[in-house]
């Protein structure tokens, strides 16, 4: 296991080639490890470094939003991150068991007010973003097409 993944709330589950499975807690200490694991997975799936970085940033932002908005800052709640790929694209899902609220994209953003950039990143850097409310939380699926 990579050194950055040694946090007790981070678990990379062994999976088939072309698949990524992470079971983590909503602790911000897990953000870097999740981001690095997703970026490495994207490169293995054929994305270039810039595309992998875009996905990593978006997964980081999605998880930060889960921690802040779905779990209201709780650091011990479950988050599952799954990745898969095919010839055309890389897909990463983030599943939480939080509030189940679909985030709203602000029409105007005040640059002097913190926050609000996560949704902008997802919409601008990814090819598709789908929020699917679950009876007990939310499933976000992000798609990045290969060049």
User: What are the structure tokens assigned to 84, written together?
Assistant: 């898969």
User: What's the whole-model pTM score?
Assistant: 0.87
**CATH number of residue 39's parent domain:** 3.30.565.10
pLDDT of residue 109: 55
Query: Using an 8 Å Cβ cutoff, are 67 and 26 in contact?
Result: yes
pLDDT of residue 4: 45
Burial class (CB in 10 A: 0-12, 13-18, 19+), 111: exposed
- Tell me the percentage of the chain whose pLDDT exceeds 90: 70
Please enumerate in sequence order all residues whose Cβ is within 8 A of that of 115, keeping only pairs 6 or more positions apart, or say none.
none
What's the CA gap between 118 and 113, in Å, rounded?
A: 13
The residue ranges of the chain whose pLDDT is under 70 are 1-7, 105-116
pLDDT of residue 5: 46
Residue numbers of the domain that contains 39: 3-145
In the chain, the number of structural domains is 1
């Amino acid at each position: 296991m990579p050194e950055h993944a040694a946090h007790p709330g981070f678990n990379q589950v062994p999976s088939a080639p072309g698949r990524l499975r992470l079971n983590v807690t909503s602790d911000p200490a897990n953000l870097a490890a999740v981001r690095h694991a997703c970026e490495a997975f994207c490169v293995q799936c054929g994305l270039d470094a810039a595309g992998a970085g875009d996905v990593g940033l978006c997964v980081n932002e999605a998880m930060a939003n889960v921690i802040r908005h779905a779990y209201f800052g709780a650091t011990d709640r479950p988050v599952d991150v799954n990745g898969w790929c095919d010839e055309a694209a890389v897909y990463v899902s983030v599943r939480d068991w939080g509030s189940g609220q679909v985030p709203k994209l602000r029409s105007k953003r005040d640059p002097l007010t913190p926050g609000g950039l996560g949704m902008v990143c997802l919409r601008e850097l990814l090819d598709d973003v789908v929020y699917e409310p679950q009876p007990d939380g939310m499933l976000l699926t992000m798609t990045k097409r290969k060049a």
